[in-house]
Structure 1
Amino acid sequence: MDSIALRDALTRLALSHRWTWSPELRRVFASLDGGELNRHPIAIVGDATTDALDVALGDTEIMELVSSAIEHLDGADEVTRTIAYFSPEFGVSGVIPQFSGGLGILAGDHLKAASDLNLPLAAVGLFYHEGFFRQSIEDGVQAERYPAMTAEEIGAVDTGHVVQVPMPERDVHARVWRMDIGSTPLLLLDTDLAANSAADRKITNRLYGGDRRHRLEQELLLGVGGVRALRAVGWPISVYHLNEGHAGFLVLALIDETIEDEGLAVALQSIKKGLVFTTHTPVPAGIDRFDRSLITPYLEVWSERWDVDLADLWELGADPERVGKFNMAAMGLRTASAANGVSKLHGEVSRKLFAGVGIGDEIGHITNGVHARTWVSEDNQAVFDRVLGSGWSEGSVQSWNKVDALTDAAVGALRHIGSLRLSQMVQDAVGARINPEALVVGFARRFATYKRATLLFNELDRLQAMLNDDDRPIHFVFAGKAHPADVPGKALLAKVVEFANSEESNGRFTFVPDYGIDIARHMYEGSDVWLNTPVRPREASGTSGEKAALNGGLNCSILDGWWAEMFDGQNGWAIPASEAEDPLVRDAAEAAATLDVLDAILAEYHDSPVEFVGRIRHAWRTLGPQVTAARMVSDYRDEIYGPALQRAI
């Protein structure tokens, strides 16, 4: 192999995006870029000089890794794509900023696990030229900026296809890009084309940006344009997986393919067989709704096209409680053949929330999981592979039952490495220092009000006393973003920043700005305890605690989402929930309860370290088999996709 062939091989590997969950491939690309992987490898390969490539050619270890990875690509079986996974965002890597939070991270993990399992799945999303915002703290409050990017810069390739989506008085054109997430293809639609008006070119400018019309047009593009993109590339899709209602308008594209021969009612029954719907929120405010006055012209395009009554299309999404609102979740439940929530508790809550709406009474659950090879630190992975065997990342019970072979010293060494890395990240980011003897408590998530980032401030005196205890030191590390339009969420974030910067925090409560995948990895690896304080039962699942658990962090959480079904009394701590209906009374009680639990954790951590390490081992044994995306996607394959494929035949 010469330098030209090596560049070609590295380009293929960069575009495969397997490096996002392969430490070995990340090391290969980082070796060409000064030892750190702070940008997309496609840029690294493009900038690599011939001399740098010649050096790599002479490095036996690097060449063996490259050759092995290319053999893996060449040996992958070509799969006929029959399942399409729709999401408005995908979190694949920190250098691919096409996600805002949990939904996108979950979607990225789903695609990686589908690749690992060789599932016949393709995905559809949008390409955002400005992605989601980068966060900074200015004068104590969140500020946002939107760096521009091109599709090529994030590893997408132009398919050569352009699709058209009917909208009032015009068609919107969208280029179809393709990204490969391992062996899973992801199609991304982009309206920044000369054929569109200036306004339409901005439909895909930002994720979750703009007004309600902008959101509506993005969702029409995702749904209708997504189906047409799948047709353009020629995949025989039979099953369509809607994640939340964002892609619900794909129903219109599917009806459009059959209505001429069958009529609306028959067309709906025909497409229903292959439609599956996942709800990701138990919070009514989290469901997309559009005013009748806004959505009517967009529905009229289709009612006139098909010569059907507009009222019949309205009924697909008519909100069961709010007159004059078109409810995207209701549309999904009325048109799909199967539906699920994302944890056991969320399934129960969703059946009540959507009772009588389509198949709302039949909503099941598949609990979210996380892609282990993406989120577990390299050091932990190496030890797990050696001691547990490679099956740990797939959720193998047999593998995780071997954790007793990890001595106290081995577990302590892994925790120490993670703590050092987190401490260095915090110091680099904000200049704060973490006492190496401190119990580190991590809290990182979207600053939505129901997640209650400021809950502990209800017991400020107790919190300050805890932060001033030199005998049993503790350090809180907080991170997260508020949606730019979420004024109450931004106010909570400002309170956290204010306290972190105050003398009362004693330098032991730190907020790290610009939360993203890279900061998250450090926090999962280095936090001893992962704190979660949502208002029960408003957390659909949550996955940050699962990532922390795989890295050896112990969960301290309200019994909500995934934790409600997986806590066994010993694999972490449950914060007692209050039955009070008054939010102020409830929050006061749960703040006190949280500090009570933290007091007990501090005592165990500092006074009974052997017991604390034993608890980590028990958490790995009991949670490891349950929290992986491999388990999650296998459940979707067996319980959702398989039956839907059978119905759609």
Structure 2
Amino acid sequence: MLRESGPSCDELLSRCEALASNLWWSWTPEVTGIFRDLDPVRWRELNHNPIKLLQEFSPRRLDRRASEMVLYSRINHAYRRLKEYISSKQVWSSTHAGVLGAKPVAYFSAEFGIHESLPIYSGGLGVLSGDHIKSASNLGVPLVATGLFYSQGYFRQQLDNAGYQSEQYIDTQVDGLPIEPALDPDGRTITVTIETRGGDLLAKVWRMQVGRVQLFLLDCNVEGNHPDDRRLTSRLYGGDVRTRIRQELVLGIGGVKAFQALGITPGVYHLNEGHSAFGPLEVIASRMEEDGLSSFDDALRDVAMQTVFTTHTPVPAGHDRFDCSLVEEHLGPVRDRLGLTYEQFMSLGKVDPHNHQESFCMTITGLKLSRTANAVSQLHGHVSRRMWAQLWPWRVEEEIPIGHITNGVHTPSWLAGQMKQLYDRHFENGWLNRVGESSVWQGIYRVDPQELWEIHNVLKNLMIHFVRHRYFDQCQRWDDTSEPETETGVLDPARLTIGFGRRFATYKRANLIFSDLDRIDRIVNHPACPVQFIFAGKAHPKDEPGKDFIRTIAALRHDSRFAGKVIFIEDYDVNVCRHMVQGVDVWLNNPRRPLEASGTSGQKVVLNGGLNLSILDGWWAEAYNGTNGFAIGKGTSHQQDEITDRSRCGIAVPGDRTTGGTRVFPTRRWVPRSLGGAHDEFHRDAGMAFQQ
């Protein structure tokens, strides 16, 4: 038998390790395909983690497997592509952001959702941050990012037989991640020190490579810290208010100190939400010390010109507030360096500096320390200007200095490989680098509807297979004899499949459509147009109402009308989301308007040929044009929540176009057909949706 010639065993392993150590692989299907082919079973069991996978291969075993699967040329090609990608100068930023080359953007975020094997994210904010730095990498934007290294990450979710959520925290092994200690210009491991009134906090700095972008994560589990502080960064959004302010102190102050130790001088500081709003205070203090500025106001003016602040939520609970005494305990040393009195310093986090009862708000601090601020959709911009208008009482609402930049998604991370191949055949060359140009999407009209339908059904079947497998594992753990004996006992590929996946915060109203079970019974079990639902999502460990929402939906499996047709799969993460957005027919989103600041999951569905059914909130309020999906309501809301909630989620039973007071405005009636049939109306709707 002929053997494919390749590099030596050691060189082969070295190249595979180089590919695994840069998270560029996470959005490059050719590379993930290599790791999957090395051992498909272990690849799945290890949560698609190439570092852990390669640890199970000796050089000789890897060489033998590469020979069996004819992988040498694929590995060599991927390795060359990675090197070319990192060194290429032909990138968007070369002509549009060259000034940042010497002084890059410093991007601060409390979480980063890059891949399921790196559990340092909880939801939309983290996924946005991950997409943001991956997009910066592809564009070649000089950007460095910082966050916290959560050794236990966010919790793993399990449901009991009654549908109640429990949380498990699992220690993450550093040697199983593409991470290494960050080194200063002299090659020494970096540990930063953050002063507080109660003593110093220490944080080690880790480095991670995300394409062309370096991500630096701070970790308080180091010698020299109090035992409680060594656990400070172990969990994302865990602990009490004291834990929260100390985490944000490490993120903001520690992040700036980390860049200083690395020899990085940012030209822009981008604060992604208020968690990192302490950071500019350290920059101001350093500027005063290094440049001899005696006036805080002068230093603030200079630093604010370099600072961008993004606010993400109109929900009050999403804006961190701390008692002023707690702020003084932790920021007192910085206040001393700034030369501010107690009252002057606390005014940085207050609407009314003279109100001694007002707590210190991180969002207010972020707004006051920046000269550029943005919301994350057009509607959210209006809401944010109204929400924070008291900070600028001399301005009319339209002149409040908070703009908006509507969130998007990193297309390569969410687009199914089969859909990318379709677009590659019918779209212009280089389309993936120009997805924001409407002309690119005119290529959808060259796609044969039959071909699009076939690909959609392939993706739908892959999703259903994945959901069945996950759900069957849940049933086996429950040992419930009422559950189906085989995986094929749930979900039908021929049914219209509606997906819902997001955080189970109460304002997102995940259980809204089940407020009238008889009506949903008529929809789910309609003789001509049956429907099925797939739900996934986590509630915060302290959010009991959110957990009740999960229990309400998960418990429907005990109702014979919905068993096998309304499925809740546990432990929602990037992997579950990827399968759902690539395979559902329709994506449901029914938040209480206008509390969904952006909500970009529907964009991922549209990219993959699905349709969006949503309240006119967030990005959908801008994208919906009457022909590209479905809108719930007319874009209005009521002052009383119970009246707003009474407007049912609009999934109309055929012949019944009203939906409990809210109209659904579909572009065309869509009826699910058998797997072998095409449906031109679905394709036309999908084609129009792709242009948004």
TM-score if structure 2 supplies the norm length?
0.86
Counterpart for residue 214 of structure 1? 243
Q: SS in structure 1 opposite 2:516?
A: helix
Instruction: Determine if contact 1:557/1:573 at 8 Å carries over to the other structure.
Output: yes
Instruction: Determine if contact 1:458/1:591 at 8 Å carries over to the other structure.
Output: no
Check if 1:143 corresponds to 2:162.
no
User: Please, which of 2, 8, 20 is the counterpart of residue 8 of structure 2?
Assistant: 2
Q: 1:412 to 1:326 in 2, by over 3 A?
A: same
Q: SS in structure 1 opposite 2:420?
A: helix
Q: Give me the whole-angstrom Cα distance separating, in 1, the residues matched to 2:529 and 2:277.
A: 52
Check if 1:174 corresponds to 2:203.
yes
Q: 1:173 to 1:309 in 2, by over 3 A?
A: same
With 56-65 and 472-481 compared, the bigger mean Cα shift is at 56-65
Matches within 5 A, 1:76-225: 76-77=88-89, 80=102, 82-138=104-160, 139-159=162-182, 160-225=189-254
Matched letter for residue 304 of structure 1: D
Instruction: Determine if contact 2:86/2:212 at 8 Å carries over to the other structure.
Output: no
Counterpart for residue 341 of structure 1? 375
Instruction: Determine if contact 2:284/2:299 at 8 Å carries over to the other structure.
Output: yes
Matched letter for residue 641 of structure 2: P
Greater Rg by CA: 2
Check if 1:429 corresponds to 2:470.
yes
Q: Give me the whole-angstrom Cα distance separating, in 2, the residues matched to 1:94 and 1:12.
A: 20
User: Please, which of 353, 357, 362 is the counterpart of residue 401 of structure 2?
Assistant: 362
Q: 1:489 to 1:3 in 2, by over 3 A?
A: same
Matched letter for residue 32 of structure 1: L
Matches within 5 A, 1:41-60: 41-55=50-64, 56=66, 59-60=71-72
Q: 1:319 to 1:74 in 2, by over 3 A?
A: closer
Deviation at 1:603, TM superposition (A): 4.6
Deviation at 1:593, TM superposition (A): 7.1
Deviation at 1:208, TM superposition (A): 0.3
Instruction: Determine if contact 1:42/1:153 at 8 Å carries over to the other structure.
Output: yes
Instruction: Determine if contact 2:30/2:78 at 8 Å carries over to the other structure.
Output: no
Q: Give me the whole-angstrom Cα distance separating, in 1, the residues matched to 2:335 and 2:58.
A: 58
Counterpart for residue 328 of structure 2? 296
Q: Give me the whole-angstrom Cα distance separating, in 2, the residues matched to 1:251 and 1:446.
A: 30
Matches within 5 A, 1:491-570: 491-570=548-627
Instruction: Determine if contact 2:592/2:644 at 8 Å carries over to the other structure.
Output: no
Check if 1:19 corresponds to 2:53.
no
Deviation at 1:370, TM superposition (A): 0.6
Matched letter for residue 512 of structure 2: L
User: Please, which of 376, 398, 414 is the counterpart of residue 375 of structure 1?
Assistant: 414
Deviation at 1:226, TM superposition (A): 0.2
Residue segments in structure 1 that go unaligned for 5+ positions in a row: 624-649
Q: Give me the whole-angstrom Cα distance separating, in 2, the residues matched to 1:418 and 1:101.
A: 24
Residue segments in structure 2 that go unaligned for 5+ positions in a row: 1-6, 95-100, 183-188, 473-488, 654-658
Q: Give me the whole-angstrom Cα distance separating, in 2, the residues matched to 1:420 and 1:166.
A: 55
Instruction: Determine if contact 2:630/2:666 at 8 Å carries over to the other structure.
Output: no
Counterpart for residue 456 of structure 2? 415
Q: Give me the whole-angstrom Cα distance separating, in 2, the residues matched to 1:276 and 1:404.
A: 40
User: Please, which of 578, 586, 594 is the counterpart of residue 644 of structure 2?
Assistant: 586
Q: Give me the whole-angstrom Cα distance separating, in 2, the residues matched to 1:579 and 1:8.
A: 58
Q: SS in structure 2 opposite 1:308?
A: coil
Matched letter for residue 590 of structure 1: R
Instruction: Determine if contact 1:29/1:41 at 8 Å carries over to the other structure.
Output: yes
Residues 207-232 of structure 1: per-residue CA shift (max 9 Å, x gap):
00000000000000000000010111
Instruction: Determine if contact 2:287/2:299 at 8 Å carries over to the other structure.
Output: yes
Q: SS in structure 2 opposite 1:614?
A: helix
Instruction: Determine if contact 2:419/2:455 at 8 Å carries over to the other structure.
Output: yes
Matched letter for residue 140 of structure 1: G
Q: SS in structure 2 opposite 1:370?
A: coil
User: Please, which of 680, 688, 691 is the counterpart of residue 610 of structure 1?
Assistant: 680
Residues 317-337 of structure 1: per-residue CA shift (max 9 Å, x gap):
114599331011101111101
Deviation at 1:47, TM superposition (A): 2.3
Matches within 5 A, 1:631-646: none
Deviation at 1:581, TM superposition (A): 2.9
Counterpart for residue 296 of structure 2? 264
Q: Which has the higher contact order (CA 8 A, sep 6+)?
A: 1
Q: 1:538 to 1:454 in 2, by over 3 A?
A: same
Residues 301-346 of structure 1: per-residue CA shift (max 9 Å, x gap):
3233444311111010114599331011101111101000111111
Q: 1:407 to 1:218 in 2, by over 3 A?
A: same
Q: SS in structure 2 opposite 1:187?
A: strand
Q: SS in structure 2 opposite 1:539?
A: coil
Matched letter for residue 41 of structure 1: P
Residues 407-426 of structure 1: per-residue CA shift (max 9 Å, x gap):
11111111111110111012
Matched letter for residue 605 of structure 1: V
Q: 1:412 to 1:230 in 2, by over 3 A?
A: same
Instruction: Determine if contact 2:198/2:329 at 8 Å carries over to the other structure.
Output: no
Q: 1:273 to 1:599 in 2, by over 3 A?
A: closer
User: Please, which of 377, 386, 391 is the counterpart of residue 431 of structure 2?
Assistant: 391
How many residues get paired?
622
